[in-house]
Amino acid sequence: MVFKSNKSSEISIRLEEIEHIHYNYLLGFIPNGIKISTKDANYVFSPDNQDFWRNTLETNLKLKN
């Protein structure tokens, strides 16, 4: 699955690599970030794009199931 943001570069994460998705991840003092953990890395996305990330994640996870 490929994530795109108008504020960052493109990130590609294979669904089978995802171990945990943490909504409402605390970014400094600002809640509602999203953290995606894989075996090798953690990806943290800022809340200004939260709806985009959440919709993208839910859509792709539904497609997998």
Q: What tokens does 65 get?
A: 């199931």
Hunting for tokens 């200004």 — which residue is that? 48
- Residue 65's pLDDT is 47
- Domain residues for 13? 2-64
- Residue 31's pLDDT is 72
Q: What is the pTM of this model?
A: 0.57
Taking only the tens place, the pLDDT of each residue in 5-64 is: 555 556 777 888 888 888 887 777 767 778 888 888 888 777 676 666 666 666 666 655
**Cα→Cα distances 14→23, 53, 55, Å:** 19, 15, 17
Number of domains, the chain: 1
